[in-house]
A and B are shown apart, each in its own frame.
Chain A
């Protein structure tokens, strides 16, 4: 059939017809053609012919001039980038449908007897109406690294800090020279130790810089010089910085504030013999020390860098993070399908089990679940097919620098052929692999349809 024939058939079909049909051939054959022509032309040119073309193209090189057999396929399965994408696709196909189906089941069961379940379902289903681009933007925002931008890390950091308060002086440090303090690596991070020893009855001055006076703990008072006391090491730890200049380096001036709550240790012969904490004016006292030489150590926990949250968009967590966004989008779909399945379960079966004395959990496990199994399978398979072709969400959420780590087959296909790769041979091969992976679903659809027809 040609396009012209199809078009004229449409015109003929469209013309009003009078009288009984008299045709040499079965008229409905041509009539059917008229109705079918537009669809067949489009399907033939844009879907069927490309399938054949892509399969053939996958055996040619990038330029399409040289037949290279299975070269593109061997390239694919030896190329480290494609292997990463294959691995990610496998993770996606296993994890995403499982989590979405499970969550859908939980939601469907929980809302079964709630009066406002329709409102709940509406909210959870809503992301299905929105583009993956918009969902991707939404989650790119959620996953921002800074706890001052991404809500995920904001929540995690505030929960973390509620249980493990952040260190008071994450950025403070001594001046590089002539401060009397030197950095020391310890298990907990960087501590600072006095370079010279102090003895009981002497005082020590421990000046630090590197932070703003406005960031000091609320109770901080003007730094005071400590008085010497017999049998004790005393001293001052303070922020040796005067706003706008002035002040004497290494001396607690009137304009400078003490650093309260600084945890410090007196060390002798490598062992910690006493610990203390500085007061609001920065003074501290190690009392009851035996005569001898001590070094003072400002412990590392004073200076621990703040907990910055989870690196969602880094190379390790990127795939789970994007799967999280996918779950947010598709949970509503699973929930609605499974809820319909639940509603279709005959009440008598459940009541019979309850009358027989089964607990609710037993009813769910032994009666509901088996009856629901076909629906769960349909949901799972549908999601698996959908996930195989996932492209937009990965493309949008993964920042350029980790896109290679997050890539999946469908994204690879685009990158290889259009997004800079310019290799139609390789791109075709990746498409064919995707196609082959959905063939089981295709056969299943055809079988199911034929069964329904009989």
Chain B
């Protein structure tokens, strides 16, 4: 399985014989390579670092000079933009909305997906294979196909502009991947374990809870983190289904983009706060997230 942290250096079985000249070239080349990689890594960090520094400067500083001038004049740095943003009254509610959308949407996808995946993996029922192929087919359906009809549906049900509306849409469009991924993992649970549990008179529900769920934890963790970041980072679904009271951070910040130049003191700290949670989740669970992304590459 792939992870970012995996050291991708399999032991080099028997180094090839090389002349001294080749060895020197190899060593110099290695030095150049290392320098090049450091430069690339810095290049990758630079844009986000720029956002971070810009978020720590005043609007006046940001419109007069580039963020990099703060590196030589650290006196520019201030948290005033953050203070203002957090006391502004629109950002903090949107932060809570993001949580109120993301947490239930993640839990629901995992639970509903695991239930269905268990049925697909271990319960015989007619049409099982066909139904599962349908799920596989639904993996790549663009969410654009759902926006207009669900907007109409929500209009009738009073779900338009509400947090449950946003959550339900995320859950439904997250399910094909959840079912697909978990079913493939559950199938790998040793049959003996299940048979033994069934012999002991365990109901399917007990087997699901006591045997399959614990064994499936790695896959469930991958799915959960993948789904969490997916929903947390969503903009399009929020744009269509949430209103100003139920909007998550992404939509709230998007509303500020119209005057990017003059709103930078709002946008930069807001964007930074919106990405700090995903970043922490990613760094803490990178292994699971990368697995989720790799499995999700079919999506």
Task: Judge whether B116 and A38 touch: CB under 8 Å.
Answer: yes
| Given A138-B47, A337-B2, CB of A131 within 8 Å of CB of B119 | no
Task: Judge whether A442 and B137 touch: CB under 8 Å.
Answer: yes
Task: Judge whether A328 and B47 touch: CB under 8 Å.
Answer: yes
B36: chain A residues at CB < 8 Å are 110
- Asked whether B193 is an interface residue with its Cβ less than 8 Å from the other chain, the reply is no
Identify which of A69-77, A117-125, A181-189, A279-287 touches chain B. A117-125
- Asked whether B181 is an interface residue with its Cβ less than 8 Å from the other chain, the reply is no
B258: chain A residues at CB < 8 Å are 400
Query: Which of B90-130 touch A at CB < 8 Å?
Result: 112-113, 115-116, 118-120, 123-126, 128
| Given A129-B279, A130-B233, A431-B145, CB of A445 within 8 Å of CB of B172 | no
A117: which of B9, B131, B208 is its contact (CB, 8 Å)? B9
Task: Judge whether A114 and B145 touch: CB under 8 Å.
Answer: no
B271: chain A residues at CB < 8 Å are 133-134, 137-138
**Min C-beta distance of A362 to chain B, whole Å:** 13
| Given A107-B40, A129-B279, A417-B148, CB of A112 within 8 Å of CB of B297 | no
Task: Judge whether B144 and A430 touch: CB under 8 Å.
Answer: yes
Interface size, chain A (Cβ < 8 Å): 112
Task: Judge whether A132 and B233 touch: CB under 8 Å.
Answer: yes
- Asked whether B81 is an interface residue with its Cβ less than 8 Å from the other chain, the reply is no
A48: chain B residues at CB < 8 Å are 138
> What 1/0 flags go to A122-161 for Cβ under 8 Å of B?
1111111111111001111110100111110010000000
- Asked whether A273 is an interface residue with its Cβ less than 8 Å from the other chain, the reply is no
Task: Judge whether A336 and B2 touch: CB under 8 Å.
Answer: yes
- Taking each of A51, A120, A131, A385, which has the highest tally of chain B beta carbons within 10 Å of its own beta carbon? A131
Q: How far is the CA of A38 from the CA of B115 in the complex (A)?
A: 9
B75: chain A residues at CB < 8 Å are none
- Asked whether A339 is an interface residue with its Cβ less than 8 Å from the other chain, the reply is yes
A118: which of B7, B12, B146, B173 is its contact (CB, 8 Å)? B7
A154: chain B residues at CB < 8 Å are 66, 68
- Asked whether B243 is an interface residue with its Cβ less than 8 Å from the other chain, the reply is no
- Asked whether B88 is an interface residue with its Cβ less than 8 Å from the other chain, the reply is no
- Asked whether B203 is an interface residue with its Cβ less than 8 Å from the other chain, the reply is yes
**Min C-beta distance of A45 to chain B, whole Å:** 7
A304: chain B residues at CB < 8 Å are none
Task: Judge whether B2 and A28 touch: CB under 8 Å.
Answer: no
Q: How far is the CA of A137 from the CA of B192 in the complex (A)?
A: 53
| Given A118-B5, A130-B279, CB of A445 within 8 Å of CB of B298 | yes
Query: Which of B218-274 touch A at CB < 8 Å?
Result: 229, 232-236, 239-240, 250, 253-254, 257-258, 260-261, 264, 267-268, 271-272, 274
- Asked whether B196 is an interface residue with its Cβ less than 8 Å from the other chain, the reply is no
Task: Please give me the residue from chain B that is nearest to A144 by CB atom.
Answer: B261
Task: Judge whether A50 and B149 touch: CB under 8 Å.
Answer: yes
**Min C-beta distance of B264 to chain A, whole Å:** 8
A45: which of B126, B133, B153, B279 is its contact (CB, 8 Å)? B153
Q: How far is the CA of A431 from the CA of B150 in the complex (A)?
A: 14
B142: which of A400, A410, A450 is its contact (CB, 8 Å)? A410
- Asked whether A94 is an interface residue with its Cβ less than 8 Å from the other chain, the reply is no
**Min C-beta distance of A88 to chain B, whole Å:** 16
Identify which of A163-171, A215-223, A236-244, A391-399 touches chain B. A391-399
- Asked whether B175 is an interface residue with its Cβ less than 8 Å from the other chain, the reply is yes
- Asked whether B21 is an interface residue with its Cβ less than 8 Å from the other chain, the reply is no
| Given A413-B144, A449-B136, CB of A125 within 8 Å of CB of B172 | no
Q: How far is the CA of A110 from the CA of B37 in the complex (A)?
A: 8
Q: Total A-B pairs in contact (CB under 8 Å)?
A: 323
Q: How far is the CA of A142 from the CA of B201 in the complex (A)?
A: 63
Task: Judge whether A17 and B150 touch: CB under 8 Å.
Answer: no
- Asked whether B275 is an interface residue with its Cβ less than 8 Å from the other chain, the reply is yes
B135: chain A residues at CB < 8 Å are 43
Task: Please give me the residue from chain B that is nearest to A55 by CB atom.
Answer: B145
Task: Judge whether B175 and A43 touch: CB under 8 Å.
Answer: yes
Q: How far is the CA of A160 from the CA of B24 in the complex (A)?
A: 36
B150: which of A50, A130, A389 is its contact (CB, 8 Å)? A50
B47: which of A32, A139, A379, A442 is its contact (CB, 8 Å)? A139
- Asked whether B215 is an interface residue with its Cβ less than 8 Å from the other chain, the reply is no
Q: How far is the CA of A355 from the CA of B14 in the complex (A)?
A: 11
- Asked whether A66 is an interface residue with its Cβ less than 8 Å from the other chain, the reply is no
Task: Judge whether B136 and A29 touch: CB under 8 Å.
Answer: no
B169: chain A residues at CB < 8 Å are 46
Residues of A within 8 A of B (CB): 13-17, 19, 26, 28-29, 31-33, 35-36, 38-40, 42-43, 45-51, 53-54, 57, 107, 110-115, 117-134, 137-142, 144, 147-151, 154, 328, 332-333, 336-337, 339-340, 342-343, 347, 351, 354-355, 378-379, 382, 385, 388-389, 391-392, 395-396, 399-400, 410, 413-414, 417-418, 424, 427-428, 430-432, 434-435, 438, 441-442, 445-446, 449-450
| Complex A-B: 30 CB contacts under 8 Å | A32-B125, A35-B116, A39-B179, A46-B146, A46-B150, A47-B175, A53-B152, A110-B36, A112-B9, A117-B7, A117-B9, A126-B48, A126-B282, A127-B44, A133-B271, A134-B51, A134-B274, A137-B253, A148-B64, A151-B50, A154-B66, A351-B14, A389-B142, A392-B235, A395-B235, A414-B236, A428-B148, A435-B145, A438-B140, A445-B140
Residues of B within 8 A of A (CB): 2, 4-10, 12-14, 16, 33-34, 36-37, 40-41, 44-48, 50-51, 54, 62-68, 112-113, 115-116, 118-120, 123-126, 128, 131, 133, 135-153, 168-169, 171-173, 175-176, 179, 201, 203-206, 208, 229, 232-236, 239-240, 250, 253-254, 257-258, 260-261, 264, 267-268, 271-272, 274-275, 278-279, 281-282, 286, 289-290, 293-294, 297-298
Given contacts A47-B176, A391-B235, 14 further A-B pairs with CB under 8 A are A17-B205, A31-B123, A50-B153, A113-B9, A131-B275, A337-B297, A340-B2, A343-B8, A385-B140, A414-B144, A431-B144, A435-B144, A446-B133, A450-B133
